[in-house]
Amino acid sequence: MSRSNARTGKTLTLWLSLVLVGAITLAGVVSFVWTPFALSDMAGGRLEAPNATHWAGTDRLGRDVFTQLMIGARIALIVGAGAVAIGAVIGVITGILAAFATRFLDDALAAFFDILIAFPTLLVAMLVVAAREESSLSTAILALGIGLSPIVGRITRILTKQVLSQDYITAARVCGTSWPVIVIWHILPNIAPFLAVNLALQFGLAVMAEASLSYLGLGAPPPNASWGRMLQEAQGTVYSAPWGAIFPGLALFALVIGINLLADGLRDRFDPSRRSA
């Protein structure tokens, strides 16, 4: 394969990822102002196949599946973004702290990250949900954010240490620059591109984890539509009305693959060692 072909392929996947993520984001945003039916409107018959009125069919209660998919897109994006934001804040702060800290504290924090990472994100999230009285959208976001934070923390620590070993940091230190200034002027701008790629990957993980939580009945409670709960509810009717499971499954797949491809494309742009020009 020639170099330009490889490049076109990469551009194509980037475009594909933008289309996938863009379409789902659009659906989620539009759902705030318009959906084909009201979410709880039992407008159709029981388990109607996809048709002109109900584009993705109806569920057992006669509710429009397409409407639920749109609201589900909104929930997935909100939970994904919220969880990544919480994970990023906690992770970046602790990661940078660890990199700057004394040897002992650094080792302790690193070990702490590793131990937390050893727990599956979903398990940590389930513990957080269990600790709160009842499940809600904010609980799900908080739970997943906490679950993701050690992953972000570990990568932040490593990236920060790399930057700290550079000569210009030593120069800045010799000049007496205080460490908050070093963090803001030198470290954050340098680690941001790599961190962004990692956060995009975490976003995909968070979306999957939210679907899993909802599937287990621990996510946002009804009437919030979540793809995970749609899958769970469609489970009993998967033979007679497969669209109830296929569409949310496809939506989930499209969003996660879109985000992963996007992260890939971003890495190619930001990572000089991968730049092929």
Partner 1 sequence: MLTPTRHPNRRPLHSGAVKAALGAISALALSASATFAQDYNPDAVINIGSLYEPQNLDNTAGAGQGINEAFNGNVYEGLFVLTDAGHVEPRLVDSYEISDDQLTYTFTLKEGVTFHSGDPLTAADVKNSIERVTAEGSASSRKRTLANIETIETPDDRTVVITLSSPSISLPYNLSYVWIVNDDAGDITASADGTGPYTLQEWRRGSALAMVPFEDYWGEAPSNGGVMFQYFTDATAQNNALLTGAVDIITSVQSPDALSLFTDNPDFTVAEGASTTKELLAYNDRVAPFDNVEVRAALARAVDNEKLLQAIWGDYGTLIGSFVPPTDPWYVDLTDVNAYDPESARQMLADAGYPDGFSFTLDTPDYDPHPVVAQFVQNELAKVGVDVKINIITANEWYTKIYQAQDFEATLQEHVNHRDIVFYGNPDFYWGYNNPEVVELIAGAERASSVEEQTEMLTEANKIIAQDAASMWLYLYPQIVVSKSNVTGYPVNGLNAQFFVSDIQKAD
Dihedrals phi, psi of 58, to nearest 5 degrees:
-125, 165
Nearest residue (CB) to partner 1, 43 versus 81: 43
DSSP-derived secondary structure letter, 184: I
CB of 69 to partner 1, least distance (A): 16
**262: which 2 tokens?**
């996007």
Q: Which of 244, 197, 229 is nearest to 79 (CA)?
A: 229
Using rule CB under 8 A, residue 249 touches partner 1: no
What amino acid is encoded at 157 in this protein?
R
Classify 58 as helix, strand or coil. Answer: strand
Q: What angle do CA 155, 160, 161 make, to 5 degrees?
A: 100
Site string for partner 1, 127-146 (x = CB under 8 A): -------xx-----------
Whether the Cβ atoms of residue 87 and residue 209 lie closer than 8 Å to each other: no
Closer Cβ to partner 1, 240 or 276, answer by number: 240
Q: 72 near 225, Cβ under 8 Å?
A: yes
Under rule CB under 8 A, residue 239 binds partner 1: yes
Q: Choose the binding region for partner 1 from 70-78, 142-150, 175-183, 234-242 (rule: CB under 8 A).
A: 234-242
Size of the site for partner 1 (CB under 8 A): 22
Site for partner 1 in 39-58 (CB under 8 A): 40, 42, 46-47
CB 68 within 8 A of CB 59: yes
Closer residue to partner 1 in complex, CB, 104/239: 239
Q: How far is the CB of 153 from partner 1 (least distance, A)?
A: 32
Q: Is 64 an interacting residue with respect to partner 1 (CB under 8 A)? A: no
Residue from 4, 11, 238, 253 in contact with partner 1 (CB under 8 A): 238
By CB under 8 A, tell whether 9 contacts partner 1: no
Asked whether position 222 contacts partner 1 by CB under 8 A, the answer is yes
Q: Is 188 left (phi over 0), alpha (psi -120 to 50) or beta?
A: alpha
3-class DSSP state of 176:
coil
Which stretches of the chain bind partner 1, using CB under 8 A? 40, 42, 46-47, 60-62, 134-135, 217-218, 221-223, 233, 235-241
